[in-house]
Amino acid sequence: MTDLANPTSGESLGVNGSAVGPTGQTRSGMSADALRAAVRDHLVYSIARPAAVLTPEHYYRALSLAVRDRMQKRWMATTQDWLDLSAKVTCYLSAEFLMGPQLGNNLLNLGIEKQAREALSDLGQDLDEVLACEGEPGLGNGGLGRLAACYLDSLATLERPSIGYGIRYEFGIFRQEISDGWQVEKTDNWLVRGNPWEIDKPDASYVVNWGGHTEQYEDVTGRLRVRWVPQRVLQGVSYDTPVQGYGVNTCNTLTLWSARAVESFALEAFNTGDFYKAVDEEVVSETVSKVLYPNDEPEAGKRLRLLQQYFFVTCSLQDILSIHLKRAHLPLHRLPDKWAIQLNDTHPSIAVAELMRLLIDEHHLAWDDAWDLTVRTFGYTNHTLLPEALETWPLRIFGEALPRHLELIYEINDRFLDEVRARFPGDEERVSRMSLIGEDGGKSVRMAHLATVGSHAVNGVAALHSELLKQSVLKDFYEMWPERFGNVTNGVTPRRFLALSNPGLRALIDDTIGPGWLTDLERLHGLESFVDDPAFRLRWREVKRANKSRLAEYVHSITGIELDPTWMFDVQVKRIHEYKRQHLMVLHIIALYQRLKNNPGLTIPPRAFIFGGKAAPGYFMAKRIIKLITAVGDTINADPEVNRCMKLVFLPNFNVKNAHLVYPAANLSEQISTAGKEASGTGNMKFMINGAVTIGTLDGANVEIRQEAGAENFFLFGLTESQVEKVKADGYRPLSHVENDAELAGVLELIANGEFTHGDTEVLRPVVDNLVHHDPFLVLADYRSYVDCQDEVSRAWLDRDAWSRMSIRNTARSGKFSSDRAIREYCDEIWGVRPMSVDLE
C-alpha cells in the first residue's frame, strides 16, 4: 500500500535528488517523483478527500491539476512573449470546439506519459483506468468542431501565436442512447463533475447588447453618430483552457464565453424590490450559452441561435480590440498587421458587421478606413455546398435582434452592389443574386455573402469542394474577386489520432523509422521500404489485431455483441445524414444476407459491420435510418445461418473518446457520400492514417486520399460529381434501377415486407418509399457499382499479404492529411502568422 494517509509525507527529494517539495518543483517538475508529489499535494489541497474514500476519479482530478500546473508557466510565457514581441496572432472564431478528453493528450504533448504512469503506479493506480474517468466536453456536432480542435493542436505545435474563441455551452451535444433500436437523446451535463482544465477569468468580461433600436445624435465635435439603445444587456465572461503544443513550450489559449446577467441591470430590479424579476433576468441571460444546437435541424432559425452567435462574436472582438490597444498602445490601423481572424463557416460571420460597428460607433473611425481594416483582417472558410445548410436569417428576426447591424449591412450592401454594377453594367440579375439580402420567400440576410464580401480570403476544405464553390454557390463572387479564392484541404492531428489512440502503431513506427515523424508526417513514407518485409507485415497485422480486440471488448461491454477480431472490421462512423448514405451500406449488408439465405452452403469472407453516429433530434429520415441499421443488426446477429460470417453493430454515442478505439481497429473505411455533397470529410483521414483501406466515391478529400494512396490501394465506385448533376438534370427515375436489378429489388422487398421488423411493414416504409420514389442522394443509382466494388473488397481481403501491403501504403502515404500541413498553408497563404518559439528562462 502506498502512503495515502499522509500524502505530503512524500520525500522532498526524488530518487535522483531533485527537489520536489511543495514550493519547488511540485508545480513544475517533470520527473515521476515530482508528479507523484504533485498528485499527493492536490489530493490534499485541491480534492480534500481522506485516503479511505479516494477513487480513480479523484486521482484523475489530482493528476489533471498537476498537469495543468505544468502547462501554466508555458502558458504565461507564451502569452507574455507575443504581447512583448508584438507578434501577429491568429484568432479562430468557431461556434464549436470538439476538444475530446484532455489529460492523455496533455501528457503526450508535454512528453510525460511514462512519468505519469510511474507516478500513479507508485500510488497504486493504473494510468489507463484514471484516463478512462475523463468525460469529454461535447461542444460540437461533428467534423467542423473537431477540425477546430485539431487546428488548435497544430497551431500550438507549430509555435504560432493563436487564440481559439467559442462558446462554453453548459450542455454539449446530446448523449445518444439506443432503446428498442431507436435513438434517444439524453442531456449532456458535462460540467457537473467539474472541469479541471479551465480557468475562469471573471475580470475579463464584456457587455453584450441585444434588441432595441438605434438613434442618431451629434457628438461634441458636431459630427452625426449612431447610438444603439438595446432592449437587453448581458455579459460574457471568459473561461480559458491551455492548448499545449507537442514537444515545444508554446501553450496557446482557447477562450470560451459564458453568459451572465449584468449585475447592475439585475440590481436595478432588485433595488426596486422586484427580486424575482432580477432572478428572472439572470435566468434568461444565462440561457444564452446553455445549449449547443444540433445541425441538420429543420427548424434551425431560432432567435437564440442568432444571439449565441452574436454573443460570442462580440465578446471575442472586444477582447481582441482591448488587447490590441493595450499592447504597446498600437493604433487601430495596425489591426490587420497584428491579427488574422478566421471565420469557421458562417456561424461567426456577424463578426463582419460587428467589427464595423465597434470601429465606427465606438472607436469613431471613418467608414472607408473601417471597411479596409475589416476586409484585411477576416478570412472565411466554407464547409458546405448544400443549399439547405447555407445560413440565412429572416430579416425581421435579424432586425429586431440587431438593429444597428442591419443598418450597417444595408450600407455594406449598397456600396458593394454599386461595385458590382460598375463591374457588370446592366446585369441586374447578377446584382440580385449577389445581394447580401435575399428576396426569395421572405427577405433574409445571407450570411455566406456577408462573410465573402467582408473577407480578403475565402477557402473551401478540399480541392474538389473549393472548385465546386467557385462554380456554384459563390460563382458570382469568384468572377468578381478571383484572387480571394483558394483551397486548404483539411487535416487531422496525428498526435491525438495516431500517437494517443494507437500506441501500438506508434511504437511500431518508432521502431521502424525512428523518431520525428509525429511532427513531420510525410516521413511516414519511410515505411514503404518495409512493405516487402514479411516480419514487418506480421507486426503490422498484430498491431491491428490487438486494436480490434480492444474495440471488440468495448463493443461487448456496451452492446453485449461479440465480435471476432480475425474478421474484417468494416466501419462507417459519422453524423447520420442522407447524403452520407449510411443506408447504402445497409443495402449491401442486406444483399449479403439475402445471398446467404438463398444459398445455405455459401460462405463469404467474414465481416463485422460497425456503424456509429448521431442523428439530429428533429431529422426524421436520419432517425429512421438508425432504426433500419439496428433492425437489420438484430436480425443478422441472432440468425446462426448468417452470423457465422457477418455481424452488425451500432455503437451508441459516437464521440471523440470512443473514436480513439474505433479508427485504429478498422480494416475498411466507408466514405460513400454522393459525389459533390461531402465538403471534405476528416474521418476518412483518421482511418487512413491508422492503416484502413477506403471504399469511397470521388467526393471531398477522398479524391486526394486516392491520389496519395494510389488508385490500387483505394476501392473506388459510384458516379462522379458531374455525372450526378447530369443524372439529375436528365430527370432521375430511381425505380428504373429497381426494375433492372433483381438483387436490389429483393433487398428493398425484404425491408418493405417487415423481414427485419417482426412483420411490421410501416416502420421502415418511409425509408424505402423515399429511395424508390425520390432518392435525392442517388443511393439506388450507385447501388450496383457499390455492391460490385464490395465484392472486390471481399476478394482482396482473402489475400492477407496483399491487404497488409495496401494497409501499410495507406498509412505511409497519409502525411498530407496532417493538420500541421493544413495549418502551415493557412499561416503562409492567408494569415501571415510566423512561428515564435517560447523561451522559459
**Which triple of cell numbers denotes residue 552?**
471488440
| Catalytic residue (one of 405, 484, 496, 580) | 580
Cell numbers for 670, please give them. Answer: 466507408
Least distance (Å) between residue 570 CB and ligand 26Q: 21
Q: Least distance to ligand 26Q from the beta carbon of 264, Å? A: 32
Contact 474, 468 (CB under 8 A): no
Maximal CA-CA distance, the chain: 93
Active site residue 686: yes
Q: Tell me if 147 contacts ligand 26Q by CB under 6 A.
A: yes
Question: Using CB under 6 A, which of 101, 135, 142, 652 touches ligand 26Q?
Answer: 142
Cβ atoms 473, 390 nearer than 8 A: yes
Q: Measured between alpha carbons, how far is residue 796 from residues 186, 502, 707, 792 in Å?
A: 41, 25, 20, 6
Q: Is 383 a catalytic residue?
A: yes
For residue 142, the minimal CB distance to ligand 26Q (Å) is 5
CA-based end-to-end distance of the chain: 39
The catalytically annotated residue of 347, 405, 686, 813 is 686
Q: Which of 10, 143, 166, 691 binds ligand 26Q (CB under 6 A)?
A: 143
Q: Which of 36, 42, 383, 537 is flagged as catalytic? A: 383
- Smallest distance, ligand 26Q to C-beta of residue 238, A: 22
What is the rounded distance in angstroms from the CA atom of residue 108 to the CA atom of residue 246? Answer: 7
CA angle at 631 for the pair 627 and 634, rounded to the nearest 5°: 140
- Cell numbers representing residue 311 in the block: 454573443
Q: Do 338 and 89 form a contact (C-beta atoms < 8 A)?
A: yes
Binding residue (CB under 6 A) for ligand 26Q from 348, 700, 718, 815: 700
**Min separation Cβ 700 and ligand 26Q, Å:** 5
Output the nine-digit C-alpha cell for 161: 501565436
Q: If binding is defined by CB under 6 A, does position 583 make contact with ligand 26Q?
A: no
Place of cell 452574436: 310
List the beta bridge partners of residue 171: 291
User: How far apart, in whole angstroms, are the C-alpha atoms of residue 710 and residue 93?
Assistant: 36
Q: Which of 153, 354, 391, 755 binds ligand 26Q (CB under 6 A)?
A: 391
Show the cell assigned to 751: 425491408
Please state the closest distance from residue 389 (CB atom) to ligand 26Q, in A. 6
Select the span of 3-11, 141-149, 223-231, 758-766 touching ligand 26Q (CB under 6 A): 141-149
> Contact with ligand 26Q (CB under 6 A): which of 56, 196, 613, 681?
681
Catalytic residue among 484, 575, 588, 627: 575
> Which of 612, 594, 510 shows the shortest CA–CA distance to 555?
612
Closest to ligand 26Q by CB, 681 vs 696, is 681
Residues that bind ligand 26Q (rule: CB under 6 A) add up to a total of 20
Helix (H) or strand (E) holding 598: helix 582-598
Measure the CA–CA gap between 533 and 694, rounded to whole angstroms: 23
Count of all residues that appear for the chain in the document? 841
181 vs 681, which CB is nearer to ligand 26Q?
A: 681
User: 537 or 575, CB closer to ligand 26Q?
Assistant: 575
Q: Does 678 help bind ligand 26Q (rule: CB under 6 A)?
A: yes
* Span interacting with ligand 26Q, options 72-80, 353-361, 636-644, 678-686, rule CB under 6 A: 678-686
Give the Cα separation of 555 and 377 in Å (integer): 47
Q: Which is nearer to ligand 26Q, 110 or 473 (CB)?
A: 473
In the complex with ligand 26Q, the residue whose CB is nearer, 88 or 575, is: 575
Amino acid in the structure at residue 401: A
- Our answer to whether residue 575 is catalytic in this structure is yes
Binding to ligand 26Q (CB under 6 A) within 282-311 occurs at: 293, 295, 300, 305
Handedness of CA 394, 681, 246, 199 (dihedral sign): positive
Contact letters (x/-) for ligand 26Q, 446-475, by CB under 6 A?
---------------x--------------
Site string for ligand 26Q, 12-51 (x = CB under 6 A): ----------------------------------------
Pick 14 or 348: Cβ nearer ligand 26Q? 348
**Shortest Å distance, C-beta 167 to ligand 26Q:** 12
Query: Does residue 489 have an active-site annotation?
Result: no
160 catalytic? Reply is no
**Which stretches of 424-502 are DSSP H helices?**
428-434, 447-453, 463-471, 475-480, 494
- We find the least distance from the C-beta atom of residue 485 to ligand 26Q, in angstroms, to be 16
790 closest CA partner among 655, 660, 595: 595
**Which one of the spans 138-146, 272-280, 602-610, 749-757 is the region binding ligand 26Q (CB under 6 A)?**
138-146
Give the whole-angstrom CA distance, residue 728 versus residue 719: 12
Q: Does 383 bind ligand 26Q (CB under 6 A)?
A: yes
d(CA 289, CA 354): 19
Task: Indicate the residue among 438 and 700 with the shorter CB distance to ligand 26Q.
Answer: 700
**Neighbouring residues of 514: CB distance < 8 A, sequence distance ≥ 6:** none
Residues that bind ligand 26Q (CB under 6 A): 141-144, 147, 293, 295, 300, 305, 383-384, 391, 461, 490, 678-682, 700
Q: Show which residues are catalytic.
A: 383, 574-575, 580, 682, 686
